[in-house]
């Protein structure tokens, strides 16, 4: 059953059929969609108008024909609406306006009655011209002659949510003080000790010994060194006092944490963290480095290889080949993400079935499935995300 189709059922059966077809036969005309789905052209027009407004489908005109494309990532974001809404509601008074923009996909600025300046300033909401919706390669130079719309900048919002996960990660791994330092880093346009000190929400953060207070740049410098060693920030090109945040490294650390929660084998968790840190290791060295019994090493290696976290390579010439296990940097969470997606399809199917029959208000299974879907969406957000 199509992952995209099950998600798009939230917009109706026409949208689901169109999205499912385009996810396989992308870049298709209306006539091709009609032939492939058996739908009436008028119904396809209706479904495409909904998907275009939600930014799930885009189109290009080539040789007098219009070709439609589905953005699978944008379709998948429907899973995350609860995450997005909760994040904004906890931090902004204009969350109701945000929710309207989020649900509509594109919203006329003239229709927005609430002040969303705080969301615009944060980069969560951005303005686009009507031409940008249709032809993203064209920029309007005459703003007064085109209609303007609000849309959610999902890339900005995704990074803010990853930062939120990172704050929890640092608190659990180090301390509340480390979390507050990173929070100040996130608020700093230019990251250095002085700006981090300025952006601290409190200058009386206890360090680990519970005696000294984190209220001077020297102590902050020590915390920044820890973050550098962790890889979540690094020295800027000036090589001196400025730092840059590494959001991709933050995401990797959060993914590793989530995968360790999913993996039931303690040995696999240990090896996953080890391979993430060192990158690659000869097969004969895995037991020595991990300090695990040989039988457990074999089983743990098999589990990580099964999920695509590590790959087996060979080096050397002639008959002397060394087996090397290498961490799969680009796709170490892909297989587990697919398992999560399969579970989501099953769960969404049960939810849709209960909804169609009208059996929801006193249906305990329906409520459990809704809760389960929110949990799976959180997992999927982290495991599938890339920057």
Lookup: tokens for 92: 């902004």
In a domain, 183, yes or no: yes
Please check whether residue 175 lies inside any domain of the structure. Answer: yes
**217 and 255 assigned to the same domain:** no
- Looking at the structure, do residues 128 and 179 belong to the same domain, yes or no? no
Instruction: Report the domain count for the chain.
Output: 5
pLDDT at 205 > cutoff 70:
no
Please indicate, yes or no, if residue 208 is contained in any of the structural domains. yes
- pLDDT recorded at residue 133: 44
Q: Which of 245, 273, 304 is the last residue of a domain?
A: 245
Residues 60 and 101 in one domain: no
Is the distance from CB of 104 to CB of 67 less than 8 angstroms?
A: no
Query: Are residues 323 and 312 in contact, defined by beta-carbon separation less than 8 angstroms?
Result: yes
Residue 55, Ramachandran bin (φ over 0: left; ψ between -120 and 50: alpha; else beta): left
pLDDT, average across residues 261-288: 92
The whole model's pTM is what? Answer: 0.88
Q: What is the mean pLDDT of the chain?
A: 87
Give the model's pLDDT for residue 239. Answer: 59
- Are 321 and 358 part of one and the same domain? no
The residue with greater pLDDT, 292 or 209, is: 292
How many percent of the chain have pLDDT more than 70? Answer: 88
Q: Domain check: are 230 and 288 in the same one?
A: no
Whether residue 78 is contained in a domain is answered as: no
pLDDT score recorded for residue 135: 37
Task: Record the tokens describing residue 102, joined without a space.
Answer: 């989020």
Residues 230, 169 within the same domain: yes
The answer to whether the beta carbons of residues 294 and 287 sit under 8 Å apart is yes
Residue 131 pLDDT > 70: no
pLDDT > 90? residue 253: yes
**pLDDT-derived band at 177, boundaries 50, 70, 90:** confident
Q: Is residue 82 part of a domain?
A: no
- Give percent of the chain above pLDDT 90: 65
Q: Do residue 147 and residue 163 come from a single domain? A: no
Tell me the CATH number at 68. 1.10.10.10
Q: Are residues 266 and 236 in the same domain?
A: no
Host H or E run for residue 327: strand 322-327
- 3-class DSSP assignment, residue 201: coil
CATH number for 234: 1.10.10
The reply to whether 241 and 177 lie within a common domain is yes
In a domain, 85, yes or no: no
Domain holding 21, by residue range, is 3-73
Q: What is the DSSP string of 113-177?
A: -S--HHHHHHTSEEEEEHHHHH-TT---S-GGGS-EEEEE-HHHHHHHHHHHHHHHHHHHHT-HH
Residue 127 Cα distances to 54, 106, 264, angstroms: 15, 10, 46
Mean of pLDDT values over 189-194: 90
What is the pLDDT at residue 145? 46
Inside any domain, residue 136: yes
Cα–Cα distance for residue pair 248/307, rounded to 1 Å: 21
Which residue, 327, 342, 361, sits at the end of a domain? 327
162 and 211 co-located in one domain: yes
Domain boundary (123, 152, 181) is at 152
Cα distance between residue 4 and residue 19, in whole Å: 7
Q: What confidence tens digit (pLDDT) does each residue in 74-104 have? A: 999 999 999 999 999 999 999 999 999 999 9
Residues 121 and 145 in one domain: yes
**In the predicted model, is pLDDT for residue 187 greater than 50?**
yes
Query: What pLDDT, on a 0 to 100 scale, did the predictor assign at position 130?
Result: 65
Task: For residue 83, tell me if it sits in a domain.
Answer: no
162 and 236 assigned to the same domain: yes
For 146-150, what is the mean pLDDT?
Answer: 82
Q: Is the pLDDT of residue 172 over 80?
A: yes
256-282: average pLDDT:
93
């Amino acid at each position: 059953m199509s992952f995209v189709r099950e998600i798009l059922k939230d917009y109706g059966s026409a949208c689901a059929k169109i999205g499912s077809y385009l996810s396989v036969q992308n870049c298709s005309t209306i006539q091709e969609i009609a032939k492939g789905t058996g739908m009436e052209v008028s119904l396809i027009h209706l479904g495409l108008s909904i998907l275009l407004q939600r930014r799930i489908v885009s189109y290009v005109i080539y040789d007098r024909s219009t070709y439609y494309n589905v953005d699978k990532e944008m379709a998948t974001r429907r899973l995350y609406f609860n995450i997005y809404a909760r994040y904004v509601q906890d931090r902004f008074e204009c969350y109701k306006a945000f929710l309207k923009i989020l649900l509509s996909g594109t919203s006329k600025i003239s229709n927005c009655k609430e002040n969303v300046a705080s969301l615009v300033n944060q980069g969560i909401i951005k303005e686009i011209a009507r031409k940008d919706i249709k032809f993203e390669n064209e920029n309007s130079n005459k703003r007064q002659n085109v209609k303007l719309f609000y849309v959610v900048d999902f890339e900005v919002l995704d990074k803010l949510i990853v930062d939120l996960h990172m704050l929890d990660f640092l608190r659990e791994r180090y301390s509340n003080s480390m979390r507050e330092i990173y929070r100040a880093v996130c608020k700093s346009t230019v990251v250095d000790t002085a700006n981090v000190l300025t952006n601290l929400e409190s200058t009386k953060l206890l360090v680990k010994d519970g005696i000294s207070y984190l209220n001077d740049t020297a102590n902050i410098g020590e915390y920044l060194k820890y973050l550098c060693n962790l890889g979540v920030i690094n020295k800027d090109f000036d090589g001196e006092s400025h730092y840059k945040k590494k959001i991709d490294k933050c995401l990797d650390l959060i993914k590793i944490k989530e995968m360790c929660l999913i993996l039931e084998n303690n040995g696999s968790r240990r090896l996953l963290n080890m391979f993430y840190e060192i990158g690659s290791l000869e097969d004969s060295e895995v037991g020595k480095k991990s300090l695990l019994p040989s039988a457990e090493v074999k089983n743990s290696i098999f589990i990580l290889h099964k999920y695509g976290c590590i790959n087996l390579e060979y080096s050397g010439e002639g008959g002397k080949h060394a087996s090397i296990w290498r961490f799969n940097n680009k796709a170490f969470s892909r297989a587990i993400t697919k398992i999560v997606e399969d579970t989501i399809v099953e769960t969404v199917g049960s939810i849709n079935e209960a909804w169609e029959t009208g059996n929801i208000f006193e249906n305990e299974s329906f409520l459990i499935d809704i809760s389960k879907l929110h949990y799976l969406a959180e997992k999927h957000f982290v495991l599938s995300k890339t920057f």
